[in-house]
Amino acid sequence: MNAVTPLQPNFDTPTRLEALNDWVARTAALTRPDRIHWCDGSDAENAALLARMQADGTLLPLDGEAYPNCWLHRSDPSDVARVEHLTFVCTRERDDAGPNNHWMAPGDAHAKMDALFDGCMRGRTMYVVPYCMGPIDSPLARCGVEITDSPYVVANMRIMTRMGAAALARIEREGTFVRGLHSTGELDPDRRFIMHFPEELSIQSYGSGYGGNALLGKKCHALRIASWQARQEGWLAEHMLIVGIESPQGETHYIAAAFPSACGKTNLAMLIPPQGYREAGWKVWTVGDDICWMRPGADGRLYAINPEAGFFGVAPGTSAQSNPNALASIRHDTIFTNVAVTADNRPWWEGLGEGEPATDWQGRPYDPANGPAAHPNSRFTVSAKQCPSYSPEAENPAGVPISAIVFGGRRASLVPLVFEARDWTHGVLVGAVMGSETTAAATGAVGVMRPDPMAMKPFCGYHYGDYFAHWLSFDQPGAKLPKVFHVNWFRKGDDGKFLWPGYGENMRVLEWILARVQGTAAATQTEIGALPSAGALNLDGLSLSAEAKQALFAIDRTQWAEEFGRIGEYLQTLGDRLPEKLEQTRAEIARSLG
């Protein structure tokens, strides 16, 4: 690394786009950096950045033999997760942001952020990062530029997006881009805000270096701003994985699935089928693990791209059992954040199943009295192309056709293993009222039940009522919409243990889902939807108790009647923007449950 050519700051303006030059100049005048560097995304630039961060201790090299070109980054202990209470959607009209978002008037937000950004980059380099969300030539992709003073952010954005010269060329052709301004500031929790201005297609983030708060192409652009763009332009920006399931006959169907963070999204996206399925010829292809942009095609089907180029995955719980593909992906060229380290300088986290921690995520000698060795929300950033199950279709500019949409939350009781919505409107209701127990990916208490409609609670950039209406609007004559399902891998028995084995065995549920799409699997109609009929879901080789089968494949009508009462109360919080069709469907189901 010592032989790497030093990073050369570039004060010139390598773009002909006047709007971009003007914005960079105004931002530099406000933040007053010592240097400006326009990022080109090249290998030489990346190597120089990594060398600089190694020199100043921002990145620590890991064991070069077992983990070549892998690095460890440690956050400030106060800066380890999204901060939803400090994340705002700043629309002119408060109701447009909705009760699902914190709101601030745009003028007030700009004044607050201008004061924070004033002079904040003195002594620092200002990096100008052009990027594309999605395949560079895809009509479904959208571009942005992030200005940041964090080389760690630049290194991560290079992995997570199509960053650099090609993105800048597209921005110049189109003339439009999402503007993101970020500074780590002083990393002071009292001077930390993430502001979204959807009507301006802009984002401002100050005081955090954590991924979701600082990698502005990720949740900020790809969900909060993109969801606003999608409603205006007639598409969907969703917190969903995209996975392809190839049958023994060689036919591949693609599924988009929404789960809250740390509820098994990455595991499902990289699923390895059980041995019997593999021997029969089943294959799983990973298109994306977190974000899905869908648009109607000329044939009436929804086509999806993964706007990201990498994985920003939760490390704890990732193991050879839970996700061998993820483990294989991160053996080289990976940035680890807030994991522990073994005595031989290898990354470690709870659930890994190998090695022992010597140093915890804060750099202290490991002591169980200090809590987990790795932070519960510790992460890995890695190129999607390093995944053994990576699908070449992830680079298809046209996207992949979606056959089924799956919603799922973390529910210890009530919700069966899988059920199918009876139509599109019912499917939208299923997604709109799903709930989950909170996880470590967001600050606050863990294990608290909260509504998380379509897993978009922290990410929808506008009023949930309008968002549900936008979903409903896709049910048009000639549309060939995906079937909608709900799954729950987390049902527990009276002993508190999970009833379903999960992980690769989830392939059995996906097989039934795709058979329902093709009209070849039996189902039993219930008030809440269609459940697998006895024998319709392959349970060969599984040892499920009678209690497990009863809980996983049946419903308690009394408990569901109570649930639909609570659902009604929740929907009413959306006020007069609640689509009437959703309430009518809910009321109809509630009446049928008695």
Q: Can you say which residues are annotated as belonging to the binding site?
A: 82, 210-212, 219, 239, 261-267, 290, 377-379, 410, 503-506
The annotation places the binding site for substrate at 82, 210-212, 261, 377-379
The annotation places the binding site for GTP at 262-267, 379, 410, 503-506
* b/e map 358-391, b = 16+ CB within 10 Å: bbbbbeeebeeeeebbbbbbbbbbbbbebbebbb
Q: How far apart are CA 347 and CA 475, in angstroms?
A: 47
Q: How far apart are CA 404 and CA 253, in angstroms?
A: 8
Q: How far apart are CA 196 and CA 221, in angstroms?
A: 9
Q: What does the DSSP assignment read for 105-142?
A: -HHHHHHHHHHHHTTTTTTSEEEEEEEEES-TT-TT-E
Q: Going along 169-297, which residue ranges are E strands?
A: 178-183, 193-197, 202-206, 236-238, 240-246, 252-258, 283-288, 292-296
263 counts as catalytic: yes
CA end-to-end span of the chain, whole Å?
70
Q: How far apart are CA 9 and CA 354, in angstroms?
A: 43
CB 443 within 8 A of CB 82: yes
Closest among 226, 217, 221 to 140, alpha carbons compared = 226
Residue 15 CA, distance from chain mean position:
31
Q: How far apart are CA 502 and CA 544, in angstroms?
A: 12
- Enumerate helices (H) and strands (E) in the chain, giving the number of each: 17, 30
Q: What does the DSSP assignment read for 497-555?
A: -BSS--GGGGHHHHHHHHHHHHT-S-EEEETTEEEEPTTTS--TT----HHHHHHHS--
Crossing angle of helices 464-472 and 424-432, rounded to 10°: 160
CB 434 within 8 A of CB 576: no
H or E element that contains 314: strand 310-314
Closest among 98, 140, 336 to 237, alpha carbons compared = 140
Question: 569: exposed, middle or buried (C-beta count within 10 Å: 0-12, 13-18, 19+)?
Answer: exposed
Catalytic choice (143, 263, 292, 387): 263
Name the 3-class secondary structure at 413. Answer: coil
H or E element that contains 46: helix 43-56
Strand partners, 296: 302
Q: Name the residue type at position 169.
A: A
Active site residue ranges: 263
